[in-house]
Amino acid sequence: MKKNIPDKNGHFGVYGGRFVPETLIYALDELTAEYALARRDPKFLKELDYYFSEYAGRPTPLYEAKNLSRALGIKRVYLKREDLLHTGAHKINNTLGQVLLAVRMGKKRLIAETGAGQHGVATATVAALFGLSCDVYMGEEDIHRQALNVMRMKLLGARVISVKSGTGTLKDSMTEALRDWVTNVRHTHYVIGTVAGPQPYPEIVRNFQSVIGREVKTQVLKKERRLPDYLVACVGGGSNAIGLFHPFFRDKKVKMIGVEAAGLGLSSGKHSASLGGGSTGILHGSKSKVLEDKFGQIRNAYSVAAGLDYPGVGPEHAYYQDIGRALYVSVTDREALEGFKLLASCEGIIPALESAHAIAYLRKTGRAVRKDAVVVVCLSGRGDKDLHE
């Protein structure tokens, strides 16, 4: 048997763990204990399944993109259609799981932080569904940039709290949300939106998102009678990618490729590639690869895809990179826009700009991926939100 990852302290190799104020330890222990019970409770799993299928629209199709395959010169490219889910992206898999945990713990309020607003919308959605109050921290800058998502959250009954401290962007919102949680932990659950944060979040979020990879395994075995050669997904914090990768961790022949946002280019400093151009550090309560300046201050991430501009990455990805289990690459804004146009024009599917990074990587390196390969790409979200770009 291979060791479980993470270990009981939430370490993925040297990454992960808990770097939080003492006052949060109780809440993290409570969440750890509740999740340990819930994941073995048939009633919880049945309820999660129910909302996944009846509310969110699972299972999502594994669509064979024949025109795209031809255009890329690859034998078969399948798209895992997370873009077809309610609210338009994979984030709902995680917020549905976490709201069920919050209800089990008797919490009455959800808080979240959001950059582009996608995770805020997914959290406000489940808060409305379960009748919980919801406060979303969002940087002042981001509120201006993402007015439509702010309107959505308000319509769903959430309060959007403008964060003016620091640079008024995502990293400042994370600090404010943690501060709120410290003060209100008795009745409040903090919904982290990706496979980051202190233990137990990276594992919990991974397990909720792993429904993606489990479905892909069943679907691809049915269609191909074998496992795929490559799995490809974009990486912001890394939740859609780990959701696809993790169920294949022990299938050594399946290669995994995570695509980060190179923004204006890695050398420009304006990017979001924590694995490709970052260093080991602490962010959001855990240790991983982060973007920091020479004084150890967290830098702002940048990408044309708002959902990718997170200045860190989940600890499990840093670990997969260290042990060589997955390969991490990056594509620029310009390349991502080409991927966006390619998928729209040849398949009639407008992808989120985040997901377009994964398409763009294949477009760029068709040759590196064997011609006779079977490839599964996670189409993490739909692109209506990105048309103005």
Ligand X SMILES: *Cc1c(COP(=O)(O)O)cnc(C)c1O
Q: Which active-site residues does the annotation give?
A: 91, 113, 380
278 touches ligand X (CB under 6 A)? no
Distance between CA 150 and CA 70 in Å, rounded?
A: 40
The residue written with tokens 């959605």 in the block is 125
Phi, psi at residue 180, to the nearest 5°? -60, -45
318 touches ligand X (CB under 6 A)? no
307 touches ligand X (CB under 6 A)? yes
Taking CB under 6 A as the criterion, which residues in 370-389 touch ligand X?
380-381
Which has the closest alpha carbon to 317: 112, 12, 27, 55? Answer: 12
Taking CB under 6 A as the criterion, which residues in 148-167 touch ligand X?
none
What does the buried/exposed string (b/e) look like for 251-269 if buried means 16 or more CB atoms within 10 Å of the residue's CB? eeebbbbbbbbbbbeeeee
Taking CB under 6 A as the criterion, which residues in 28-87 touch ligand X?
none
- Our CB check for ligand X shows the closer of 213 and 237 to be 237
CB of 177 to ligand X, least distance (A): 16
Burial of 320 (0-12, 13-18, 19+ CB in 10 A): buried
Q: How many CB atoms lie within 10 A of CB 299?
A: 17
CB of 52 to ligand X, least distance (A): 17
CB of 84 to ligand X, least distance (A): 12
- Our CB check for ligand X shows the closer of 94 and 219 to be 94
CB of 308 to ligand X, least distance (A): 6
Q: How many CB atoms lie within 10 A of CB 326?
A: 23
- Our CB check for ligand X shows the closer of 44 and 81 to be 81
Taking CB under 6 A as the criterion, which residues in 86-125 touch ligand X?
89, 91, 118
194 touches ligand X (CB under 6 A)? yes
- Our CB check for ligand X shows the closer of 44 and 193 to be 193
Q: Which stretch binds ligand X (CB under 6 A): 17-25, 144-152, 233-241, 324-332?
A: 233-241
CB of 118 to ligand X, least distance (A): 4
10 touches ligand X (CB under 6 A)? no
Do 330 and 258 form a contact (C-beta atoms < 8 A)? no
Taking CB under 6 A as the criterion, which residues in 328-357 touch ligand X?
352, 354-355
Distance between CA 201 and CA 112 in Å, rounded?
A: 13
CB of 9 to ligand X, least distance (A): 23
**Which residues does residue 12 pair with via DSSP β-bridges, in sequence order?**
15
Do 119 and 193 form a contact (C-beta atoms < 8 A)? yes
239 touches ligand X (CB under 6 A)? yes
Question: How many residues touch ligand X (CB under 6 A)?
Answer: 19
**Which residues does residue 191 pair with via DSSP β-bridges, in sequence order?**
none
Q: What is the enclosing helix (H) or strand (E) of 257?
A: strand 255-263
Do 333 and 29 form a contact (C-beta atoms < 8 A)? no
Q: Residues in the site for ligand X, rule: CB under 6 A?
A: 89, 91, 118, 194, 234-241, 307-308, 352, 354-355, 380-381
